[in-house]
Amino acid sequence: MSQPFQILVVPGQRAPIYRQIVDQVRIAVATKILQAGDRLPSVRALAQELVVNPNTVAKAYAELVREGVLESQPGRGMTVAEKRTVYTVKERRRRFEVALQAFVHEAVCLDIAETEIQEAVAEALAQLNRQQEK
Amino acid sequence: MSQPFQILVVPGQRAPIYRQIVDQVRIAVATKILQAGDRLPSVRALAQELVVNPNTVAKAYAELVREGVLESQPGRGMTVAEKRTVYTVKERRRRFEVALQAFVHEAVCLDIAETEIQEAVAEALAQLNRQQEK
Amino acid sequence: MSQPFQILVVPGQRAPIYRQIVDQVRIAVATKILQAGDRLPSVRALAQELVVNPNTVAKAYAELVREGVLESQPGRGMTVAEKRTVYTVKERRRRFEVALQAFVHEAVCLDIAETEIQEAVAEALAQLNRQQEK
Amino acid sequence: MSQPFQILVVPGQRAPIYRQIVDQVRIAVATKILQAGDRLPSVRALAQELVVNPNTVAKAYAELVREGVLESQPGRGMTVAEKRTVYTVKERRRRFEVALQAFVHEAVCLDIAETEIQEAVAEALAQLNRQQEK
DNA sequence: GTGGTCTAGACCACA
DNA sequence: GTGGTCTAGACCACA
């Protein structure tokens, strides 16, 4: 791996464990912390590390393979796949719209000021960029 | 009620129905469309109006009472409570941060351009404002 | 459902059970045997019918939801989603190419004559068309 | 060997390595590139050449012996067996039909036009022929 | 050793 | 009633 990569799982979250794993791998790949060809920890190793059932890790990995983020090489483990665009523009729009509405809704319900929302988004994006540059 | 107030429920949505009800009441209160003392439709009336299981409405109201947004006044039904802060500042920050990260992650993974993300957030907020004014 | 729809599962096949379910639902949707809005049997009902573990059916349904073929309405079961194109042209090409190579390979290894292969493909396509027209 | 014969193995493929070896030997025999009595490289030699685990080559050869394609002649290594029909006509039909349905289903689900499917099959067969001629 | 599939069964959220 | 998640554990294919 190009950089140390650490998956963290928080059990009390509303996001299920397998989804937390999926998201963290996806973002690590998106920000180049993980690059094409990098090996991931084996299902059993990661399960042990996270103190989680191997099935849960396997479920996360399987979803990432289906999405084209990872590749499974039988008998040899999981590696990061060459980047390829799997979803259509429309499908990506649709998924983005769902995420957007969920976020804005939550923010408004929490009574966060609009300018603060916007600044927080800008800051979060800037932070991702800094990670990429590293 | 100070203004006409309409709850809309979309069954095909990712958000469960009871949550849609909760959120819409919360936003209506946050934006003063509903004000302290305003009465809400009874569980049965709302359930009938939304063509939804009464249990679902009851669950939503119960959550709003738990949060201190509504008050159940025996014999008078549900009314909007005097405003009091439900979440501590720290808790609100924490929840907002979680929602923010989830959203930005998804957007980056979907390969949406940064400017587009920002514009989409601005647009979504503007749209909520227009709904409020109505 | 617009037409009687029957899922058949053969345990001795090299295709795992959950994949057989996925494929049969997909083809039923592709050939209009199942149409947008149609309800599918519940996880438990189908599991019982196929004498299979409910987890296996749930796995198949989950994959179909991820692909955008089915929609899960919490508490109300699975329905066929409005058709939408999820994969990019390139991704569809890639998946088609994999299926094509696997098929041609198998056919050649089985020593089937080329003309026979072509005719069989034509016949299989014609048969699907007849199903659609029904 | 009557003609130069080269086995190629692609690790990133969906087909496991041992299967790729089996298939390539089978096709070479079916297309007379390898003829009865021809010798194959030893397990170790081929494993070294393909940079692959010797177990994998051994497994492939064992399957080919089981199918009657190769013969193990103690002290002389593996040779191509006299041709005999391995599968009954009925069994071949059955296997071909399964492969055909799987392919056509996938193609239809991916929304590939019929003419395109047919052309792709023709092209894939033509490509195999060109390989044979080499 | 690696991942993939499946069963059995628990518990949860939701309607 | 519905589906979703997770655990525990078996067994398989593959390298």
**CB of A35 within 7 Å of some strand E atom:** no
What does the block give as tokens for D101? 């349905």
pLDDT bucket at B67, cuts 50 / 70 / 90: confident
**CB of C76 within 7 Å of some strand E atom:** yes
Question: In the predicted model, is pLDDT for residue A6 greater than 70?
Answer: yes
Q: Which of B22, B104, B112 to mutate to test the interface with A (most CBs of A within 10 A)?
A: B104
Closest CA in chain A for residue B23: A109
Residue with CA nearest to F7's C1' atom: A53
In this structure, how many other beta carbons lie within 10 angstroms of the beta carbon of residue A68?
17
Q: Out of A84, A90, A94, whose CB is closest to C91?
A: A84
Integer Cα distance of D8 and D28 in angstroms: 12
| Cβ contact D100–C120 (<8 Å) | yes
**CB of C22 within 7 Å of some strand E atom:** no
What does the block give as tokens for D31? 């297309």
CB pairs under 8 A between A and C: 29
- pLDDT cut 90: percent of chain B above it: 10
C58-85, pLDDT tens digit by residue? 999 999 999 999 999 878 899 999 988 8
Residues in CB range of A117: below 8 A, 6 or more apart:
A104, A107, B121, B125
Q: Out of C13, C107, C128, whose CB is closest to D104?
A: C128
**Cβ burial B24-56 (10 Å sphere, 16+ → b, else e):** bbbbbbbbebbeeebebbebeebbeebebeeeb
Query: Any idea which residue has 């036009």 for tokens?
Result: D113
Q: Touching D: which chains, 3+ CB pairs < 8 A?
A: A, C
In this structure, how many other beta carbons lie within 10 angstroms of the beta carbon of residue B23?
17
pLDDT (average), residues A98-127: 89
Q: What is the pLDDT of residue A116?
A: 94
pLDDT bucket at A117, cuts 50 / 70 / 90: very high
Integer Cα distance of A73 and D108 in angstroms: 27
Q: What is the pLDDT of residue B49?
A: 80
Integer Cα distance of A130 and A118 in angstroms: 19
| DSSP element (H, E) containing B113 | none
- pLDDT cut 70: percent of chain D above it: 82
Closest CA in chain A for residue C89: A88
Q: Out of A63, A85, A94, whose CB is closest to C88?
A: A85
Q: What is the pLDDT of residue D1?
A: 45
Residue closest to D7 by CA, chosen among D56, D32, D40, D44: D40
Which residues 64 to 123 of B reach strand E, CB within 7 A?
none
Q: Which of A10-14, B12-16, B57-61, D123-127 has maximum average pLDDT?
A: D123-127
**CB of D19 within 7 Å of some strand F atom:** yes
Residue closest to B95 by CA, chosen among A40, A105, D71: A105
| Cβ contact D108–C128 (<8 Å) | yes
Integer Cα distance of D66 and D92 in angstroms: 17
Distance in Å from F8's C1' to A18's CA comes to 17
pLDDT bucket at A76, cuts 50 / 70 / 90: confident
DSSP E strands: which ranges in chain D?
Answer: 70-73, 77-80
Q: What is the pLDDT of residue B13?
A: 54
Compute CA B21 distance to the chain's CA centroid, rounded to the nearest angstrom: 6
At D29, the amino acid letter reads V
pLDDT bucket at C45, cuts 50 / 70 / 90: very high
Q: How far is C91 from chain A (nearest CA, A)?
A: 5
Distance in Å from F3's C1' to C52's CA comes to 17
Q: Among all strands, which nt has the closest C1' to C74 (CA)? A: E14
Question: What single-letter DSSP state applies at residue A87?
Answer: B
